[in-house]
Structure 1
Amino acid sequence: MTRRPLLGLLTLLAAALVACSPAEPAPQSAPQQAQVSAPSAPVTPLWIDVPSIAARSTLVQLGLNADRTVEVPPVDQPMQAGWYRDSPAPGEAGPAVVLGHVDGNRKPGIFWRLKDVAVGDRVEVGRADGSTVAFTVYKVDQVAKDTFPTDAVYGDTDRPEIRLITCGGKFDAANHSYLDNVLVYGSLAA
């Protein structure tokens, strides 16, 4: 059974992605490595690694804000990624949703280079049981925040998948916000 929230209420997700200011990329530290294994029962995710863009972070759990938009990691910690805990856990059937900032506090964020991810790239998620579940990217998209594809991101799937989300596109200085979202879709690696 997937834990999917009311999709209509999540169309404001893009607006919840806190405005980030442009910055230069910086090096990141690697998470603890674990053995790659096939998923079984849902297990809490602890870290994420996107090797093709050197994006590695622990994962904080994210819920919903009072206005029913998805929380985002603290903007004052732009290198922190977060797992939306009302989405399936990575390795469970359905789309596990991970959010991260493109930048914040005039520094690059964990998903600074998410737009550079390519089809075929690997995404690994370390889990509380010490296992790692791996996904293969099958789609990368950039969409205007006002046309956020809620069903494609949060809708049920019959297999384990992952979605990575950040801000992207042009920065609107007047509103302190990016106009687009960058979305990465992945399916369980064979």
Structure 2
Amino acid sequence: MRTVGDSAIAGVTVVALCAGVWLLSGTGPAAPPPQPSAAEAARSAPVVPGAAAPALPPSPPDRVRIASIGVDAPLMGLGLTTSGSLDVPPAERKNLAGWYEAGAQPGETGTAVVAGHVDNTKGPAVFYRLGALKQGSRIEVDRRDGTVAEFTVDAVEVYDTDAFPDRKVYGAADRPELRVITCGGGYSRDTGYQGNVVVFAHLTGSH
């Protein structure tokens, strides 16, 4: 199991978020959650739907909103398990996401990480429709200091578990960036989801 660092938590999100318990229960839909199309992936020429905004002072986040896919969820802090892996939100709380407290806080310089379940035993969870996001979509994060950090989506990609690009997803950034992660890719009733959907975004404003 890889531990948290500059190349961070890919193994954790794959293992902890991706069982696909709703689908495995036999009560889920015939098709898995939406997956990003090739058109939403990063391109050789950077996609810049909005100019980068200056970094904000550090402040813990309290809530994440993604209006285009119906997300409006509280955020809990995530630490490490005894094995050195990133913990995850309780699966029974389907409308709850988490952020990695030892990393960058959303809005300050660096790569902030938000993760959440795609489903639980009762149905879709907070990031069930994450793969349907498009380049240029807006993500808002309410911060404890009263500001709202506004991020613009640069790319939405899906990676197989055994080909997860740790450094690309979790590497240090010289501007305020955000990664939002859940399960995705192929689905097997034996193993659950076989990869991760990752949203890449950067700070474009605040209010």
- Structure 1 CA distance for aligned equivalents of residues 59 and 97 of structure 2: 17
Secondary structure of the residue aligned to 2:84 is coil
Report the alpha carbon displacement of residue 38 of structure 1 after superposing the two structures with TM: 6.6
1:134 corresponds to 2:133: no
1:52 aligns with one of 53, 56, 68? 68
Asked if residue 12 in structure 1 is aligned to residue 28 in structure 2, the reply is: no
Q: Which amino acid aligns with 2:193?
A: Y
2:200 matched residue in structure 1: 185
Residue type of the alignment partner of 1:19: A
Confirm or deny that 1:123 pairs with 2:122: no
Residues 15/124 of structure 1: CA separation in 2 closer, same or farther (3 Å cut): same
Percent identical pairs in the alignment equals 37
The residue type paired with residue 15 of structure 2 is A
Number of equivalent positions: 174
Q: Secondary structure at the match of 2:168?
A: helix
Which range is displaced more, 68-77 or 51-60? 68-77
- Alignment-derived partner of residue 62 in structure 1: 78
Q: Return the offset for 1:7.
A: 4.1
Compute the displacement of 1:50 (Å).
Answer: 0.7
Higher relative contact order (CA 8 A, sep 6+): 2
- Deviation of the 1:172 alpha carbon: 2.4
Structure-2 change in CA distance of 1:18 and 1:168 (3 Å): closer
TM-score by length of 1: 0.84
Is the CA contact (8 Å cut-off) linking 1:16 and 1:69 kept in structure 2? no
Q: Deviations over 1:1-20 (max 9, x none)?
A: xxx94245634121232512
**Could you list the runs of 5+ residues in structure 1 that have no partner in the other structure?**
25-36
Aligned to 1:32: none
Superposed, 1:81-96 pairs within 5 Å as 81-96=97-112
Retained in 2: the 8 A contact 1:15–1:145?
no
CA change 1:108–1:156 in 2 (3 A) is same
Report the Cα distance in structure 2 between the residues aligned to 1:8 and 1:163, rounded to whole angstroms: 13
1:42-89: per-residue Cα shift (whole Å, max 9, x none)?
A: 001000001110111000101122222221111111221111112200
Partner of 2:127: 111
